[in-house]
Amino acid sequence: MLTLSCNSKSQDLTESGKGVTKINEKKMTVKIFNIPEYEKKLKANPDYIGYKTKENVEVKQNYMLDDQHFGGDYNPKYVIEYLHSEKFPDGFTDSYIFNKDGFLTEYERYFDDIETGIWKKYLEGKIVSQENKDINYPFSIDDVILFSKKNNGDLSKSGSFKRSYDDQQKIYIYTIEWVVKNVEKPYTQGFVLNGGDGKIIKTYRKDSPRIKM
């Protein structure tokens, strides 16, 4: 994927290799989907959907056709958008949506299927809207992953992870679980954490599910 740099008076958040990082008021970096390179890969392999980098980043690329040609073979005349995602070894995924000309229109970030980071929409290379998906969770996903590593788990590699609002306590919470295997009898360790400060609200254990032979 190529990048285009342009000047802007409006405040912008720039992307790094792992997504949203620093604020830059004068310079804006916007990614462009390299259509000729993508078409070259499709021509060589019609089943092409992506690749893995030497840094172990899983890159996926695809396209969406208009309603009349949905599900058909690739034809640039009918493409309405191109899709590009980068899944990192730590479990985070940066997702980019481009228009039919290859210009960035949307940026999203996930941890597994959880929406995180600052989502942005672009028009003609400028941000037209953005939404902070972590605004109700000062105790970040990175903090939760570190918590799991300190408690015999590693959510960046395995386990379950959920965000929700506790109506009774009127707070946002994390519910996290992972299987503890390095013991005589493996079990599922679970925690409910306060999304604001990471304090433990509840701790529980469950027998690990048996594997059917």
Q: 28 vs 139, which has greater pLDDT?
A: 139
Q: Which of 132, 166, 199 is the last residue of a domain?
A: 132
Of 127, 122, 118, the C-alpha closest to 105 is 122
Considering the domain boundaries, does residue 212 fall inside one? Answer: no
Same domain, 177 and 87: no
Beta strands (DSSP E) in 58-170 are 58-65, 79-87, 92-99, 104-111, 114-123, 126-132, 160-166
Residue 170 — left, alpha, or beta (φ > 0 → left; ψ -120 to 50 → alpha)?
A: left
Query: For the CA atoms of 102, 11, 172, 88, what is the dihedral angle to 10 degrees?
Result: 40
Same domain, 33 and 57: yes
Mean pLDDT, to the nearest integer, of 54-65? 95
Considering the domain boundaries, does residue 166 fall inside one? Answer: yes
Q: Which of 132, 149, 177 is the last residue of a domain?
A: 132
The pLDDT score that the predictor gives to residue 7 is 39
H or E, element range at 177: strand 171-180
Q: Which of 78, 100, 132 is the last residue of a domain?
A: 132
The pLDDT score that the predictor gives to residue 89 is 93
Same domain, 49 and 152: no
Same domain, 32 and 92: yes
Domain count, the chain: 2
- pLDDT confidence band for 31 (50 / 70 / 90): confident
Same domain, 116 and 18: yes
Same domain, 28 and 121: yes
Mean pLDDT, to the nearest integer, of 168-182? 94
Reported as a single tens digit per residue, the pLDDT across 72-111 is 788 999 999 999 999 999 999 999 999 999 999 999 999 9
Ranking 7-16, 53-62, 63-72 by mean pLDDT, the lowest is 7-16
- The Cα diameter of the chain in Å comes to 62
110 burial level (CB within 10 Å; 0-12, 13-18, 19+):
buried
Same domain, 122 and 153: no
Could you give the CA distance from residue 118 to residue 137 in angstroms, rounded to a whole number?
13
- pLDDT confidence band for 182 (50 / 70 / 90): confident
For strands 58-65 and 79-87, give the pairing.
antiparallel
Same domain, 11 and 88: yes
Considering the domain boundaries, does residue 184 fall inside one? Answer: yes
For strands 126-132 and 50-52, give the pairing.
unpaired
| Token output for 158 | 């395995």
Q: Are 32 and 104 in contact (CB under 8 A)?
A: yes
Same domain, 184 and 154: yes
H-type alpha helices, the chain: 35-44, 141-149
Same domain, 100 and 166: no
Q: Are 125 and 95 in contact (CB under 8 A)?
A: no
The pLDDT score that the predictor gives to residue 5 is 41
Same domain, 112 and 47: yes
Structural domain harbouring 82: 2-132
